[in-house]
Amino acid sequence: MATPTLKLNPPFRAEHIGSLKRPSKLLQKRKEFDSGKCSIEELRQVEDEAIRAIVDLQRQVGIKGITDGEFRRCAQLPLFTSAQLDSARARKRHMFYDGVFDNLEGMKHVKPVPPEMLMDYVPDVAAFKEHDFKGADTHICVSKLKRTKPFYVPQFEALKALTKPEWFHLRHGEYAYPKDVYKNDDEYFADIALAYQAELQDLYAAGCRNIQIDDPLLAYFCADSMIRGMEARGIDHAALLDTYIKAYNACLKGRPADMNVGLHLCRGNFRNGLYFSEGGYDRIAIKLFREINVDCYYLEYDTPRAGTFEPLKHLPPHKAVVLGLISTKFPRLEDVDDLVQRICVSPQCGFASHSEGNLVDEHAMREKLALVVRTAKAIWGDI
Ligand SMILES: [Zn+2]
């Protein structure tokens, strides 16, 4: 086998991850749509305008890996029949994991989730339960899983962030699928892998060459709280991590050689800096960097919660890492000299993992993105 070589451009020296701040006009319009006060066409027009503006903004500040800011997330409207539209209106949609499982045949929308079906050791579940978690919804596997329509292709403009394949499996533990549908995790993930493989092929055919997968769950395996919780319930967390790594590699199997795949890990990105987990990458570094077949990693590094750079020594020479040192959680701009000392650059996560986004206004977001580019130029001369 040929020696793998480091792929760059993408990732670019100055990067950002997925979501950008949604303009208030767009949020307002989505509310109107959700309450039946405007048509899909009206909503789509406002989305289109907002995406044009956010693409311009990224170009102006010098970002090369353009995204649509995830402005269409929650709104895969062209695929909906009117009945589906009503059910889409009725259910609370999720900004940062919608796309795959809500479009997969065999998954059922459940609202509210019976609390016992949510595993307390998962850090964001624990955080939400503390913050009054009533009425939450989810998707549960009820029959064989099959991709019968595209997940993200209709949204694809430049590049899109895909959700992680193990999301519902980790959250729901033994409730993730009925045992008469799948005998074990391997069977369950084999069908999920087929769905992801088909999606990647379709995205490739649509011109997509750069994928970001948003996966805070892998970072949860760095958190003592989850490890302790799993041990208390007799769950073999090391084996589970291996299962997820195997699932990733199955999902990515057969992808075209010139399709770049990056994996983003963080510890939660809510308003006011609310986060779910902490712990450096040390515990999972060897498996994360050496066993998952992705090309690069977008790692949160904006607070001590992410630990040190030490684990990066396990990164193989053919893989790139993008260090998320610039915080999107707060508007205060970091000092360039300080950032240069530490090698950089990208925000630590998106600006709007949930609909209204973090407490960073559009002006501050533009400044942040421009800062990413300025910092990259200060280090490498050009990006
Ligand atoms: Zn993130």
- Phi and psi at 229, nearest 5°, equal -60, -40
Element at 134 (helix H, strand E): none
Residue 5 CA to residue 341 CA, distance in Å, equals 27
pLDDT reported for residue 97: 65
Instruction: Centre a 10 Å sphere on the Cβ of residue 36 and count the other Cβ atoms it contains.
Output: 10
pLDDT reported for residue 329: 80
Element at 273 (helix H, strand E): none
Cα of 288 vs centre of ligand 1, distance in Å, is 16
Residue 102 CA to residue 11 CA, distance in Å, equals 29
Residue 16 CA to residue 3 CA, distance in Å, equals 29
Residues 6+ apart with CB under 8 A from 148: 105
Residue 377 CA to residue 383 CA, distance in Å, equals 6
Cα of 299 vs centre of ligand 1, distance in Å, is 8
Residue 284 CA to residue 291 CA, distance in Å, equals 10
- Phi and psi at 364, nearest 5°, equal -65, -35
- Provide the 3-class DSSP secondary structure of residue 145: strand
Residues around ligand 1, an ion, CB closer than 5 A: 266, 269, 349
Cα of 17 vs centre of ligand 1, distance in Å, is 8
- Total domain count, the chain: 1
Type of residue found at 314: H
Confirm whether 2 is domain-assigned. no
- Provide the 3-class DSSP secondary structure of residue 58: helix
Cα of 375 vs centre of ligand 1, distance in Å, is 21
Rg of the chain in Å (alpha carbons):
20
Domain of residue 251 covers 24-380
pLDDT reported for residue 376: 81
Cα of 143 vs centre of ligand 1, distance in Å, is 31
User: Block means of pLDDT (10 residues each) for the chain, length 383 residues?
Assistant: 71 81 92 87 89 88 84 52 45 61 88 87 81 76 89 61 80 92 96 94 88 88 93 95 96 93 84 74 94 93 86 87 83 70 69 79 89 80 71
Confirm whether 329 is domain-assigned. yes
Confirm whether 6 is domain-assigned. no
Confirm whether 8 is domain-assigned. no
Residue 288 CA to residue 276 CA, distance in Å, equals 20
Confirm whether 17 is domain-assigned. no
Tokens representing 237 are 């967390």
Cα of 204 vs centre of ligand 1, distance in Å, is 24
pLDDT reported for residue 197: 95
Residue 203 CA to residue 259 CA, distance in Å, equals 10
Confirm whether 3 is domain-assigned. no
What's the pTM value of the predicted model, to 2 decimals? Answer: 0.71
Cα of 348 vs centre of ligand 1, distance in Å, is 7
Residue 129 CA to residue 120 CA, distance in Å, equals 8
pLDDT reported for residue 95: 55
Confirm whether 167 is domain-assigned. yes
- Provide the 3-class DSSP secondary structure of residue 184: coil
Confirm whether 261 is domain-assigned. yes
Tokens representing 362 are 């559009």
User: What's the CATH number where 360 sits?
Assistant: 3.20.20.210
Instruction: Centre a 10 Å sphere on the Cβ of residue 314 and count the other Cβ atoms it contains.
Output: 16
pLDDT reported for residue 356: 75
